[in-house]
Structure 1
Amino acid sequence: MIDNAYGANLLKGEKTTLYFRNGLSYKKWLKVHCKSGNDDMGVHYLKPGGIDYTFSVHDNVFGGTLIWCTLSKGPDYKVSSRFDAYKQNKDKPHGKSYNYLAKDDGIYHSNLVEFKLHKKFDWK
């Protein structure tokens, strides 16, 4: 990667931060595994009431940044939901922050454009 004189990378686009929180009841743990075409962010286990799992990505200046995640719960983490957590869209503002809250009935989402949490995905 090439940096300009001020230290900013010329090949990096906008930065987006993704936050994942365990809002499951009854002391259930949450498993989070996110990937992109180039990177595997690894498997992370979130305990109930514990700290969020957070990471940031930079958009590809040529477009096409996509992050997909699988969130799993239950005995042996057999109940899950796989979804596109972030998909770059140059024509639509996204607020630079994507927040996901796992609850017993599904996965909720908000960002800096849409502040209110709304249910986005069901468990399967």
Structure 2
Amino acid sequence: MKNISIFLFVFALCTIDNVYGGNPFKGEHTTILFRNGLRWGKWLKVHCKSGNNDMGVHYLKPLEDYSFTFNDNFWGNTLFWCYLSQGSDYRKTINFEAYKQDKGKPHGGSYNWWAKEDGIYHSNFVDFKLTRVYAWN
């Protein structure tokens, strides 16, 4: 009976690997990167959180980057939302989902966000095409 239990456990791990495109226990990482593309010397304030993690507040000088890396959770519901603020008093603010785990896609990858004067842009670093996703409030 003990051998069957061990076999079923190993079989389940192999199945997870095949279904989700990666075993969550292997440590495949996801990275979120932010770049301050604002003009006129404006700083960018970045604050990201998930249900379990608070990444803290970071202040980016013009053309400076900030990134963090994490692993998707086993249940397939990893979500990071971020607050970006700009200006001398940081009144222009936007709150958005920077990453939401897709159960149908492999784990890992890079999610790249650029703050510009007219909004927040996304690039996947495959085709390097920036697409505006959000406008400042």
Fold in common (TM above 0.5): yes
Given the alignment of the two structures, is residue 68 of structure 1 paired with residue 78 of structure 2, yes or no? no
Distance of 2:108 and 2:50 partners within structure 1: 20
Q: 1:26 to 1:76 in 2, by over 3 A?
A: same
Asked which structure has the greater CA Rg, the reply is 2
Secondary structure, in 3 states, of the residue corresponding to 2:132? Answer: strand
Kindly report structure 1 stretches of 4+ aligned residues shifted beyond 2 Å: 9-14, 92-95, 112-115
Question: Aligned pair 1:35/2:49, yes or no?
Answer: yes
Aligned length: 115
Partner of 1:26: 40
| Residue 115 of structure 1: how far off its partner (Å) | 3.6
Aligned to 1:53: 66
* Secondary structure, counterpart of 1:75 in structure 2: coil
Decide which structure has greater strand share: 1
CA distance in 1, matches of 2:71, 2:134: 24
**Deviation (angstroms), 1:62:** 1.3
SS of residue matched to 1:77: coil
Change beyond 3 A, Cα 1:12–1:77: farther
Maintained 8 Å contact 2:31/2:108: no
User: CA 1:64–1:10 in structure 2 vs 1: closer, same or farther (change >3 Å)?
Assistant: closer
The residue type equivalent to 1:108 in the other structure is Y
User: TM-score when scaled to structure 1?
Assistant: 0.83
Q: Give me the identity figure in percent.
A: 63
Give the Cα–Cα distance (whole angstroms) in 2 for the partners of residues 68 and 116 of structure 1. Answer: 22
Instruction: State how far apart, in whole Å, the 2-side matches of 1:36 and 1:107 are.
Output: 20
Question: What TM-score do you get using the length of structure 2 for normalisation?
Answer: 0.76
Output the CA distance in 1 between the equivalents of 2:119 and 2:52: 28
Cα shift at 1:26: 0.3
Aligned partner (choices 76, 90, 93) of residue 80 of structure 1: 93
Cα RMSD, aligned residues only: 2.1
Q: For 1:10 and 1:100, how far apart are their aligned partners in 2? A: 25
Give distance in 1, aligned partners of 2:107 and 2:40: 33
Specify which structure has the higher proportion of helix: 2
